[in-house]
Amino acid sequence: MARMKFICDSERCIECNGCVTACKAEHDIPWGVNRRRVVTLNDGEAGEKSISVACMHCSDAPCMAVCPVDCFYRTEEGVVLHDKDICIGCGYCSYACPFGAPQFPSSGTFGMRGKMDKCTFCAGGPEPNGSQAEYEKYGRNRLSEGKLPACAEMCSTKALLGGDGDVVADIFRTRVLSRGKGSEVWGWGTAYGKPTGGATTPEAKPGK
């Protein structure tokens, strides 16, 4: 079974915000809500690094653990989704999430907080796949169209990769081996060290 994962390559991200725009356009996301955003470290300094951040669809998701109304669920592909008809907009998930993924529209009076909205890995919600009800609540369901998340497929430098976790890890490993650095990063061996054969490895180059 494919396990869906995102990864952002900080060596490639150019902070163009194409992923943010693609996400907002694809799902018709209201003003003030950003399911995805680009975070830049040491902005303006030489060697600044950017990464695109959204819901990481955690294996042991803290948002699921703290939700008092149990509105979250995980699909067979490991995508963390929620039922907006159950959500009460309490915001607990927002405090629990280390990535700031849960978003709350606040267009009502007195700064009223609406129901939680977050990245769905373009997998919609519990409504029938591709239905109008699903689109209005969660946006497009690209996975059920045989596609990957719009942010990853639109990324011009392919810094943001999304899809089957094994293949994504293989692609990332291929890059690191090709550019000759990155494998010294802590945790690299655990996350990407073991090839699964999902991606093509470049041929061995002399002098590398």
Partner 1 sequence: MKRMLLAAGLVLAVAGCGERTQSGPSHRKTDTVAWDAAQNPFVAPGWTAGDETSWQSQIRDRTASQNEYSRVSPRQ
Q: Which residues bind partner 1 (CB under 8 A)?
A: 1-2, 70-71, 73, 75-77, 81, 83, 85-86, 123, 125-131, 140-141, 143-148, 152-153, 158, 161-164, 167-168, 170-171, 174-175, 178, 198-203, 205
Q: What is the CA radius of gyration of the chain?
A: 18
- How far apart are CB 174 and partner 1 at their closest, in Å? 6
How far is residue 180 from each of residues 7, 84, 106, measured CA to CA in Å? 19, 45, 47
- How far apart are CB 63 and partner 1 at their closest, in Å? 14
- How far apart are CB 111 and partner 1 at their closest, in Å? 28
Q: Return the exposure string of 57-67: e unless at least 16 CB atoms fall within 10 Å of the residue's CB, then b.
A: bbeebebbeeb
- How far apart are CB 133 and partner 1 at their closest, in Å? 11
Sign of CA dihedral 122, 103, 160, 65: negative
Q: Helix and strand tally (H, E) in the chain?
A: 7, 6
Give the SS3 label for residue 34: coil
Q: Within 13 A of 68's CA, how many CA atoms are on the CB side? A: 6
- How far apart are CB 52 and partner 1 at their closest, in Å? 14
Single out the residue of 88, 91, 81 nearest to residue 134, CA to CA: 81
